[in-house]
A and B are shown apart, each in its own frame.
Chain A
């Protein structure tokens, strides 16, 4: 009954109502976009950091993460890799790794050498994009190696040079090989550029007497989100093989911490922004309510109770807020979805980021959280503030109200 009245009331002043709805809808739309953009950006940064080397998740032998050892292996991983690859949109790549001596002429340095599957790895990691001279490994390569810029510089190596490796094989014997440097990468990450080298998996397994065993299986795919959703399934597969699954927060606690910090700062800004815009909108809404004193006086005079009038006003405000925010969510949501599909070009920055394998577009991420949180806060605050006219009206008599204008 009151709600019908409130609804009809709204449309007795269409321009005022539309104005309120429009401003609220625009605000809500911007809030939806902003949070989606923010979430999308963190996702881009997070994926960028993970995609450089680690992948979105890894299956490892138990204890490997704390004490990596070439002898801690996943036996005959083919079955496991192919069952992981069968999960929708996921790519799994086996890797081996060991600390070795790399030598050239009289120079020798310690390095972390990884054996990688050159056909799968580029679909999981972006290291290939950071190659600054030569090229990345491919499926035909055998006696090839790629390494970080600092490592190559320390060894005074350029593309095409021979480099020898000496390490400790899985069976305890000496692992030794002579390889040709075919590419040098520059990731901008000091530790990686100084210590990392990669060679073809099969050759690594042969050199380190590993049969077909591998040390880890890196998992990548379309998006971090998609992989995260499949984690319980992967976990089951890993558990069946007596292996452990590590998600990205375990693999990269540093990235997790940095993003958590940055994100909580950004959320603080966002919360402040929502409060401010809601406050401004509320001011205006309340102003227009108080402009209607005369109208309330008449309502009271014709016998409506102050309480009922108050509830009616409150309902009007809530209806306005709901209407404005629903339109806002639809508006903001569809704009965000379109941008999510299109991606927002980074313009002049895109080239800048390409050299580190970061994407040249940011895709906002529309989610339940980003679509609803801003508008919901607005509605709740308006709902609370809508009680002000209610309390005010209870002290109003028809006479004072009608005199006020």
Chain B
């Protein structure tokens, strides 16, 4: 059997941590809390803590760009603590109703046409999420950059009245992560400006940039972020957050498979 026939199985870059950012973006709280500049780990944790409000509810549009075509989708996302997330697509009509639920490391997808919840098989976690440059794995392994890496500040610069720290994150020995390192740019008020993923030869694989920081839900928020694979300049996915509410109360049933299948009115 020609293996090429099966290449689709997993030909997409998989990332452990970039969804840290996607979800971080979903849940950013702009409590400007100056982190101790000397401690990179604490700074990053503070940034993540800031983003991780107890809960969030955001509306986003996602643009998937390819040289031949471009697609726009809209979605509603809810998160609660660090391990529960639900994303439901609301536009275009073709995609409306599709939903993804994350509980811990497990993921389920719902498709309205099939009216069925399907557990994401492990062999599919590297597949693109809704055809974008994010993979399901990005959603599932959001916390890795905090828990599985050691952190060092390698540089700091000043821009727009903020200090921006370059933090190098190196995987802990034996940590179950594939990357060689990550380099993150974090503003002193806990806004992530860039996240780069390097392979074990320290070659850049992909980059996520914050294109625009604006006030959302009363806080500074990276409202436009773009993911670029390094080897393909012409492919990118942009997520723009248009509305956001933070630290609101979200009921338990929201994050269940039955709600995934039969959403109750919110």
Contacts and interface: CB of A to CB of B under 8 A. Distances in A.
Interface in B58-117: 64, 66, 68-69, 71, 92, 94-95, 98, 109, 111, 113-114, 116
Contact of A106 (B11, B92, B119): B119
A166 B69 contact: no
A281 interface: no
A108 B118 contact: yes
A65 B111 CA distance: 31
Interface residues of B, number: 34
Contacts of A65: 4
B24 to A, nearest CB: 25
A164 interface: yes
A150 to B, nearest CB: 13
A178 B115 CA distance: 10
B266 to A, nearest CB: 22
Given A110-B121, A164-B118, A69 B8 contact: yes
Contact of A166 (B2, B66, B95, B114): B114
B123 A110 contact: yes
A90 to B, nearest CB: 21
A106 B8 CA distance: 24
A168 B128 contact: yes
Interface residues of A, number: 38
B87 to A, nearest CB: 13
Interface in B120-157: 120-121, 123-124, 127-128, 130-131
B1 A168 contact: no
A178 B2 contact: no
Contacts of B7: 66-68
A176 B121 contact: no
Interface in A67-85: 67-71
Contacts of A110: 9, 121, 123-124, 127
B3 interface: yes
B111 A166 contact: yes
A27 interface: no
Contact of B5 (A97, A107, A108, A254): A97
A290 B92 CA distance: 97
Interface string A134-166: 000000000000000000000000000000101
Contacts of B6: 99, 112, 191, 195
Contacts of A97: 5, 8
A191 B3 contact: yes
Interface string A50-67: 000110000000000111
In the complex, the 4 A-B pairs of residues with the closest C-beta atoms, listed nearest first: A99-B8, A110-B123, A172-B131, A172-B71
10 contacts: A66-B4, A68-B4, A68-B5, A69-B8, A99-B9, A99-B127, A108-B124, A173-B71, A173-B131, A195-B6
Given A71-B68, A103-B119, 12 more contacts: A66-B7, A67-B7, A68-B4, A69-B8, A108-B118, A108-B120, A110-B9, A166-B111, A173-B95, A174-B98, A174-B111, A191-B3
